[in-house]
Structure 1
């Protein structure tokens, strides 16, 4: 029984590492990949915000589906194997072959040439089959570490009230600053954004470099942070 548990633990470990590699090849960080892989296999902890990185990516969703099924299957195998061991004895040979096969797959995936091939395959599949709307915001906008996407809330004391974005950031083109839309109640303003007078209660979706947005809208970002702190429970 101890031998079986040891061998099966090796199989589970190898499967985890295989899928960590696969998720990393889709652009996910290693530490995030490992936590989400373990979460999906065990059915616990997969309700974190980071799970959106899996759900919003079609290739990762397919990998995740296999992991969830593998986790459920593993539990059934362990239970049935314990039952078989108690009744007829354990077939160690088959378990060893399964462990060897999984370890071979893991070793192959560790090869740089295989990882480069899979990375190209995943990227090509994304380009050919995936609509832009299906991709996570992070994969679409935040390609560089200096980029940011901010939903700027406008309050009564804002310096932007009754002003336009052209007035607030006249050189926005040179600053690599883009206003994507203005949300005003249930209305979404996408036309003439830079010439639309801003009102209290508006939300402006901004994209650009962190330091540029932080400098251009420093007062409003500070107001937003202060108001968020007031809403937090003491």
Structure 2
């Protein structure tokens, strides 16, 4: 519900609930988000209370009991653990619980529906989001987005920050007629290698050649991605 993959969410939830506090880079990623941190805090609290209750119940199960009663309680305990194990491992139960929990969270905690933009935007797949400060000698400077044809390189301009007097104005999803000016801070999404090249690309023949090379790379990358989609 907060955008994490199922495997990562399950591991971190079990770690918090059991009180093991297993530390990985993923755990740092989890606690850096306020909603996820709140969930982890609740799981730690419930886990601590659950362990205390379990220990107390276990002790009371055998204290002051005869050998026969202790044996019966031990068998019941094993039976209960087995039933709990089967309950947890049941895929049908898992599907039903997920549906119920999702409905409850959507109804009572709509703010929990937060997306993991790293995952959605394919940051781990070679794509990146970056900000570029446009210099006077930049290949991007004083050209419209239609003239730049960054989309042919596989790069999208998500927004532009521009100083207007004493204020900084943000233009989201700019059109093709929008001109990039020196001093603009542009927000780009695309292959990390291409964006890095764009930040260094200067005016002139060299910049034009780099643009043409990037367009050719984008065509090859598009073909590769299409083949992957087809399972070839």
Using the size of structure 1 for normalisation, the TM-score is 0.50
Using the size of structure 2 for normalisation, the TM-score is 0.50
Greater gyration radius:
2
